[in-house]
Amino acid sequence: MTEDVTEYEVVVVGGGPAGMTAALYSTRLGHQTAVVTRGGGRAAMMQEVHNVLGIREETTGGEYLSIGQEQLEEYGCDIHRDMVSSCSSDGDRITLSGNSGEYSAEMVVLATGFNDVRPDPPLPRTGRGLHYCLHCDAHMFVDQSVYVMGHSESTAHVAGIMLNFTDEVDILLRGDEPDWSEETAGMIERHPIDVVDEDVTGVQNGEDGWLEALEFEDGSVREYKGGFAMYGAEYNNGLAKELGCEINEDGTIDVGDHGKTSVDNVYAVGDCTAGHNQIPVALGQGAKAGIDIHFSLRDFPRDPELLDEQGPVRSDEVPGIPDELLEQAVDFHTYGK
Ligand SMILES: Cc1cc2nc3c(=O)[nH]c(=O)nc-3n(C[C@H](O)[C@H](O)[C@H](O)COP(=O)(O)OP(=O)(O)OC[C@H]3O[C@@H](n4cnc5c(N)ncnc54)[C@H](O)[C@@H]3O)c2cc1C
């Protein structure tokens, strides 16, 4: 190991809601913790935050994440702005190599998320007529004209779901052949969904930047308040693969209880795992992983077999927290209040 390696008990890769929550728990439960993140990600794309209890809707993703970072730093978590490009395990510790440094940890949490595949331009502005998250944004399209762009099963599925919100739903194939099954084709035919073949050639926005209409190559113009792009996801699973974690067919990292991957001491949380891609879900997964890591790393209460073997715990053995973290906790502004 070189001198440039910074050692931690826990390193979280990815500073989105999932990773920062795992780090918040791990830090506050007394573990030397770092988040290594290149920044950006899906949460950073939010123009407004929906579905997160206690957070004002007009909060942007950037504001939300920077409050999280301040919270972490105040408790003593290190945040490194770095891109982890490779990793390895010697069976004892895991080393993560970034562009600016190396980080070594007993436990690693992968919270690397995914990238939405963007359709070709011309496109409305993201969050102002172009959307990627049904559960976040369907509510704003109640009784409005919407499109669903794409040609996959999930395109058809989302178009069907949008009929619960509005009676004006178009699928925009943009010249691609549909990939959906005959059963799905039958479902579309038996619902009031228009399928538009022609590609989009232009976008008309209002003064507030919101989409008003799309222009098509046959010269037609269709009015829309907004819609969803359904071109799939590129999962950031490279580090998980390098560590030998099992990957599901769709590219998500396979996890069990509390975000444990198939490799010891490696957890995965948030959008890089299967499930609903929502902040509250990411927060819950991060919390579960952080708590589980604490139970794995700390000694007390000692289990009965060890107590039989080693005798009762002496008072000079507790607390189980390292000296420097004890000092940090005492320094923290809520201590003793
Ligand atoms: C436009 C948009 C709007 C949305 N609106 C809402 C909403 O209103 N409400 C809601 O609940 N959900 C919303 N979502 C979904 C929500 O953003 C995600 O579910 C959530 O961000 C997932 O958190 P995460 O931490 O797993 O991933 P992310 O937020 O994507 O964070 C992953 C982080 O890991 C970093 N990273 C990846 N690989 C590496 C690496 N090798 N080294 C270092 N860093 C790395 C990324 O750069 C990123 O910072 C929205 C999504 C989008 C795209």
| pTM (two decimals) | 0.94
- Regarding the beta carbon of 40 and ligand 1, being less than 6 Å apart is answered yes
Please choose from 35, 56, 109, 112 the residue to mutate so as to test ligand 1's pocket, defined by most ligand atoms within 8 A of CB.
112
Residue 315 resides in a domain: no
Asked if 57 and 152 sit in the same domain, the reply is no
DSSP SS3 for 213: strand
What pLDDT sits at residue 337?
Answer: 65
Asked if 248 and 191 sit in the same domain, the reply is no
Asked if 140 and 210 sit in the same domain, the reply is yes
At which of 169, 204, 229 does a domain end? 229
23's enclosing H/E stretch is helix 17-28
Distance 35 CA to ligand 1 centre (A): 15
What pLDDT sits at residue 324?
Answer: 79
Give me the domain span that covers residue 281. 5-115+233-298
Structure confidence by residue, pLDDT tens digits, 190-216: 999 999 999 999 999 999 999 999 999
At which of 283, 298, 313 does a domain end? 298
Distance 16 CA to ligand 1 centre (A): 5
Residue 329 resides in a domain: no
Residue nearest to atom 26 of ligand 1 (CA): 270
Residue 146, token pair as written in the block: 């919407």
Instruction: Say yes or no to pLDDT of 333 above 80.
Output: no
- Regarding the beta carbon of 286 and ligand 1, being less than 6 Å apart is answered no
Question: 3-state DSSP helix/strand/coil percent for the chain, to nearest 5?
Answer: 30, 25, 45
Distance 291 CA to ligand 1 centre (A): 21
Provide the pLDDT confidence category of residue 2 given band limits of 50, 70 and 90.
very low
The answer to whether the beta carbons of residues 237 and 87 sit under 8 Å apart is no
Asked if 88 and 237 sit in the same domain, the reply is yes
Spatial distance between the Cα atoms of 261 and 109, rounded to a whole number of angstroms: 10
Residue nearest to atom 48 of ligand 1 (CA): 41
Residue nearest to atom 37 of ligand 1 (CA): 112
Asked if 246 and 279 sit in the same domain, the reply is yes
Provide the pLDDT confidence category of residue 326 given band limits of 50, 70 and 90.
confident
- Regarding the beta carbon of 45 and ligand 1, being less than 6 Å apart is answered yes
Closest C-alpha to 265, from 12, 80, 18, 72: 12
DSSP string for 264-309: TTEEE-GGGBSS---HHHHHHHHHHHHHHHHHHH--PSPPHHHHHH
Asked if 208 and 291 sit in the same domain, the reply is no
Structure confidence by residue, pLDDT tens digits, 145-174: 999 999 999 999 999 999 999 999 999 999
Distance 232 CA to ligand 1 centre (A): 15
Instruction: Please calculate the CA angle 295-297-299 and round it to the nearest 5 degrees.
Output: 75
Q: Find the mean pLDDT for residues 254-272.
A: 97
CATH number at residue 221: 3.50.50.60
Total domain count, the chain: 2
At which of 186, 212, 229 does a domain end? 229
Asked if 241 and 95 sit in the same domain, the reply is yes
- Bridge pairing between strands 168-172 and 193-196: parallel
Asked if 111 and 12 sit in the same domain, the reply is yes
Q: Which atom of ligand 1 is nearest to the CA of 49?
A: 8
